Each structure stands twice: as structure tokens, then as C-alpha cells.
Amino acid sequence: MRTPLVAANWKMNGSKTFAERFFSDLNLEALASEVVVCPPFPYLSLVAQGVEDKSALSLGAQNLSQESSGAFTGEVSADMLLDWNVRYVIVGHSERRSLYAETSELVAKKYVAAQEAGLIPILCVGESLEEREQERTLDVITAQLKAVSDIIEGDAWKHSVVAYEPVWAIGTGKTATPEEAQSVHRFIRAELGEAGAEVQILYGGSVKSANASALFAQADIDGALVGGASLDAKEFAAICRAAG
């Protein structure tokens, strides 16, 4: 059985006051799912304290460098994240791919850098609206996964999380139907080969408490990567409870 997992991606939102209030309002009692909070880098230490106070929580980061150290102004290495007890790190989020021109090859290097340091990468894959309308969804996802599988060895897939995020549904209020999402999740699981049965595959496209239960009821949807709804502690807790 795969443990349900829900990850909060605050993106570039929040403040010291917000983070403090978030954890005071977050009620995760009797929760069976694992929960990850990924704040902006400046708040990692503050969120680490909040995570320590709630046993169901793990700390995550939104990005990392593929390099271990050096003259890379503005970058953050895997070892730096480990200094703050970060356990998970998002790699290849669609906003990194589209706004900062991160290629699938670069994302794959970040995936490897995370794993080699002992972090669990949350690898994001998904298609744009144009690619969806051209019926290229599966081709796009295959290429994004292949970029990683081409440079990893052994059972590396087993030590990661994959998040399917249809780009057209992020922050738009639109979402794939549970059946549409399930179809893509089933495809991803098959693409992962033998490791597929163990890998948690999350859905990440405008997930909220109103649609979470229907999504999580699907056989291959193991949780969610939550954006905007994760900024409301009560709404986020409701999503987590829907996961288990």
C-alpha cells in the first residue's frame, strides 16, 4: 500500500507572520496521510520549527541547484537544504520550466543531485494547453520522464515522488476530471516500470477540498501537490483529511 501524500507549494507567497499563523491554524489530528510543506527559501528555518511541532509533517523545498557548491549566485544546494532538515524537494515545476527555461535535461540533473544527497525529489511532469489540444499529453510526459530515466541507475525511481500537473489547470480554477487525471496517472505508473507500483504519484492542478475526495478515490492518484489552496490552513487541512 502506498501512503497518501499531500504537499503544499507556497510558491513565492507568505511572510514570517503568515507562517506562524499557518501552523497555529493547521489541525492535522488523526491523519493517515503524509504532509509536506514547501515554503520559500527564507522561511525554511521558521517552517522547520512548525514541522517539528506536528508529527505528520515533513519539510520540503521548492527548488535546488544541480551543483553542489561554487560560484552560482542565488542558487541553493542540496546540502544547504539538508542543514534545515529538508526531506523533499520539488524539481521541474511547470513554472520553473516555462518562466526560467529549465529543460527536462536540467531537471533530470536536479533530480539526481537531490537523490545523491539523500533528498526525495518530487518530479513534476505535465502538458500545456496547446500540447493537450494537439493530443500530445502522453508524448510530452514520456519525454519528461525519459530525461530522468536516461541518467539514473538501479531502483532510483523508487526513492522519488512524481507529480502530474497539467499546466492548463494550474491556478486557473480548471481541473482535469478524476477520470482524466486517473488515465494519465495510470500511464505514468506504467512508464515507471517495476518501480511504478511503489512510487507515489500526485495530482497537481487546482486541487481544493471540493474536488479532493473524488480525485483521491482514483486507483493511481496517491495525493496532491497543492498550490493556492495550501495558503489557507483550514482548506489545506481539509484536503489532507480527504487523502486519508
Q: Which residues are catalytic?
A: 93, 165
Do 200 and 161 touch, CB atoms closer than 8 A?
Answer: yes
17-22 long-range contacts (CB < 8 A, ≥24 apart) are: 18/231, 19/43, 19/46, 19/47, 19/50, 20/46, 20/50, 21/233, 22/50, 22/233
* Phi/psi at 18 (5° precision): -60, -45
Rounded CA-CA distance 137/243 in Å is 26
* Phi/psi at 90 (5° precision): -75, 130
